[in-house]
Amino acid sequence: MDEGDYGADYQARHNAEAVSRHRSRMELAAGAAGSEVCEECGDEIPAARRAAMPGCSLCVACMTDIEKRRGVG
């Protein structure tokens, strides 16, 4: 393989990964509104949050608590 082959191989892998990530995001946005129950506390996650944050699995209170512990926000 020469440098051109390595470059083409790298670009093909990069493109395939980007397409895969894009498809995953689109599937989440189209169908998976997220969990109905918070993984942390077990409380119901409001439909508005699930619609706004497709794929979410935590209620706002638990997400806020986790972010505070991590030093985010």
Dihedral Cα 18, 56, 40, 49, nearest 10 deg: 160
Share of the chain above pLDDT 90, in %: 26
Q: Are residues 37 and 71 in the same domain?
A: yes
* Residue 40 structural domain: 33-73
Tell me how many domains the chain contains: 2
d(CA 42, CA 16): 37
Residue 33 has pLDDT above 80, yes or no: no
Q: Does residue 37 contact residue 43 with C-beta atoms inside 8 Å?
A: yes
Give the pLDDT of residue 29. Answer: 60
Q: What is the pTM of this model?
A: 0.51
Q: Are residues 19 and 39 in the same domain?
A: no
Q: Are residues 41 and 67 in the same domain?
A: yes
